[in-house]
Structure 1
Amino acid sequence: MAAPRIIMKLTVTAIRKEPGDVLVIDLKHPRKPLLPPFEPGSHVDVHLADGKVRQYSLCGDPGDLSRYTIAVKFEQTGRGGSSWIHQTVCPGFTLPVSAPRNHFPLGKSGGPALLLAGGIGITPILAMARALERRGRRYELHYFTRARALTPLLSEIQSALDPANVRLHFDDEPETRQDLQTLLSTRSSDPQLYYCGPPGFRAAVDRASAHWPAGTVHFEAFQPPEHDAAPPEPFTITLRDGTSVPVAADTTALAALRGAGVLLMASCENGVCGTCECGMLEGQPIHRDAVLTRQARDSRFIPCVSRAKGVLRLDL
């Protein structure tokens, strides 16, 4: 079970509107000069007034702990969190924010890094690029968006990063386009690949990097992947002590486990944050999360969204 997360009441000190319906929000502690440290790739939980929780990557400089910076894109077809933030949050507003957590860590090796971002997926990637520049480590950032005029954080990228390391790709500028299959077809100097973006972008990168060796591809998602429309089927979870927990077709594994007295923390309950992640010992899972790597899916399970066929034995 995940450890409880610290919740801080942070003050919104600055807001600016970026292209692409994105708000960039600076958060500071009202009394302490420094916030808890974070590694590039980290995210925070933002607790909304209606009890909802949303995850946002920290896109600021990991070396500047005087503030946290998040970027929130307005999603018309979203679940309401971005709409509430865009309509409600202003300078001086107080937001309950968790201590940072990292499911998308930047490796410690000295090898080169290939960073790919699609749209608002630039947020964790920008923090990574800042850290890599500070460490003097080789990297190449490719940023894909629909149009230059709709590209959030572009001015910050151009001012904070070495332009020799940045490649910008706009759908409406043919001379800047880059085919992912071509980009990822060959590997030199054993790079590590990090990518983030909307579901279609992630799926394209996943296909193009399928031949990369295990352990060299890393990603983060803000939305779970789309799945077929087949109705869910009931299955059974078996715990370490032999207890059987039935999961009905209209119930999540997380809800069934909680109903059986298993205390599992959760946050997004949408398969993107990993808070409820647990070990898996045996069975045929149906993974529906956007957190676990290909390798982790052999032994880990996200019960808020994932299901199984038959009997699934969990390490709980």
Structure 2
Amino acid sequence: MASPRIIMKLIVTGAHKEPGDVLVLELKHPRKPLLPSFEPGSHVDVHLPNGRVRQYSLCSDPADLTHYTIAVKREPEGRGGSAWLHDTVTVGHELHVSAPRNHFPLKEGEGPILLLAGGIGITPLLAMARVLSRADRPFELHYFTRSRTFAPLLSMIEQDLDETSVRLHFDDEAETRADLGAFLSKQPPNAEAYYCGPPGFMAAVSRATEHWLEDSVHFEAFEPPASDDAPPEPFTIVLRNGTIVPVPAETSALAAIRQAGVLVMASCENGVCGTCECGILEGQPIHRDAVLSKDARSHRFIPCVSRATGVLKLDL
């Protein structure tokens, strides 16, 4: 089931390939001069012809609403959405795109800001860097990739941002490589970190910032963390009105809730967009999403991927 947000029919007005097998698409409205506003860190849903929905961060400048820009990395082991976009979409193609939403907002703060990007994780952070630069807020963008030849959007970074705020780290260049753990251990206590990238990069930053204050570390993931190898166990959901919903081992909580007649909107159904988020009233959840903060996990639940032990009472 799709998100209830506005769906726009946008036209692809620009399409080009970037290093790292990334397709950059510029999208405009066929009639309206301006698109809905968005904050840095926002993403849109792209609705594919097969009914599937994929989320892509907006890497364009929030101050320029004449178009949106998204960057799509081809994922050979993915579910087919990126491959379809790479193989099918050209200038003039129409795409069904949602209005933006933001689970990765840039917070107000007084301390130094670190933007940490791994590969295609540069997309939401590029929008943040543009806003911070315009506001004269001190920040450093650290971009980590295997090689300069595999670094998507590098030309945009070099064109749009002051080089004094950018640090490039390439694995194959000894002079630019950085020890992520050592680097993050030396940051001042009032620093704030925003990070995004592939699973290995996300795990490394998470480990390196474990000692930081929780509200000073913010992230967006493109896929949920790998779960353990333990087979899923059945559990029971209790709704606010007392309805009991059994959740078999092979069924997601989201599917079971819908089968019980409760309308729950969802988009990615992969634990990364937060559309299906709901409240927990009682019980012990098993979180398998990549959306909720440590604090939110005490009272929020993502039913498309997460499970529970025993009985879980939800605010539905």
> Scaled by the length of structure 2, what TM-score is found?
0.98
What's the counterpart of residue 233 of structure 2? 233
Aligned AA (1:73):
K
Partner of 2:175, secondary structure, is helix
- Identity among equivalent positions (%) equals 71
What's 2:181 paired with? 181
Q: Which residue does 2:200 correspond to in 1?
A: 200
The answer for unaligned runs of 5 or more in structure 1 is none
Structure 2 residue aligned with 1:83: 83
Distance 2:290 2:136 in 1: 31
Aligned partner of residue 121 in structure 1, secondary structure: helix
1:253 correspondence with 2:253: yes
For residue 214 of structure 1, what is the aligned residue in structure 2? 214
SS at match of 1:97: strand
Q: Which residue of 2 aligns with 1:308?
A: 308
Matched residues in 2 for 1:17 and 1:262: separation? 43
Tell me, yes or no, if the aligned pair for 2:13 and 2:26 is still in contact at 8 Å.
Answer: yes
- Assess, with a 3 A threshold, how the Cα gap between structure 1 residues 285 and 158 changes in structure 2: closer, same or farther: same
Asked if 1:156 is matched to 2:156, the reply is yes
**Letter paired with 1:178:** A
3-state SS, counterpart of residue 86 of structure 1: helix
Q: Which residue number in structure 1 is paired with residue 96 of structure 2?
A: 96
Q: CA deviation at 1:108?
A: 2.2
* Closer, same or farther: CA 3–156 of 1 in aligned 2, 3 Å: closer
Per-residue deviation, 1:147:
0.5
Counterpart code for 2:139: Y
| Separation (CA, whole Å) in 2 of partners of 1:174 and 1:157 | 21
Partners of 1:20 and 1:73 within 8 A in 2: yes
Give per-residue Cα distances to partners, 1:133-169, cap 9 Å, x unaligned. Answer: 0111010111000100110000110110011111101
Following superposition, the deviation at residue 315 of structure 1 comes to 1.1
- Give, in whole Å, the separation in 2 of the partners of 1:67 and 1:17: 18
- Does the CA contact (< 8 Å) of 2:3 and 2:266 recur in 1? no
Shift of 1:3: 7.5
What is the match of residue 135 of structure 1? 135
Does the 8 Å contact 1:234/1:249 carry over to 2?
yes
User: Residue by residue, what CA displacement relative to the aligned partner does 1:266-308 show, whole Å, maximum 9, x if unpaired?
Assistant: 0000001100000112211111011111111111100000001
Offset at 1:189?
Answer: 6.1
Unaligned runs of 5+ in 2: none
Give the aligned residue type for 1:65.
L
Partners in 1 of 2:155 and 2:294 — Cα distance?
35
Secondary structure in 1 aligned to 2:185?
A: coil
2:41 matches 1:50: no
Q: Is the 8 A contact 1:142 1:167 kept in 2?
A: yes
Matched AA of 2:61: D
**Aligned partner of residue 141 in structure 1, secondary structure:** strand
Task: Kindly provide the CA deviation profile for residues 228-276 of structure 1, in whole angstroms up to 9, marking residues without a partner as x.
Answer: 1211000001111222111000000000000111110000000011000
Q: Secondary structure at the match of 2:169?
A: strand
8 Å contact kept, 1:112–1:189: no
Give the letter for the 1:127 counterpart. A
1 CA distance for matches of 2:127 and 2:248? 42
2:276 matched residue in structure 1: 276
| Aligned counterparts of 2:134 and 2:230: Cα–Cα separation in 1 | 48
1:313, 1:175 → 2: CA distance?
54
Which residue does the alignment assign to 1:24? Answer: 24
* Equivalent pair of 2:3/2:275 in contact (CA under 8 Å): no
| Residues 38, 100 of structure 2: 8 Å contact kept | yes
Q: CA deviation at 1:224?
A: 1.2
Equivalent pair of 2:3/2:267 in contact (CA under 8 Å) = no
**Alpha carbons 2:5, 2:98 under 8 Å: kept:** yes
Shift of 1:187: 3.1
> Where do 4+ consecutive residues of structure 1 move more than 6 Å?
none
Question: Conserved in 2, the CA contact under 8 Å of 1:35 and 1:66?
Answer: yes
Q: CA deviation digits over 1:178-236, x for unaligned, max 9?
A: 11111111332612110000111101100000000121110001111111121100000
Tell me, what secondary structure is at the counterpart of 2:214?
coil
Q: Calculate the aligned-residue CA RMSD, in Å.
A: 1.1
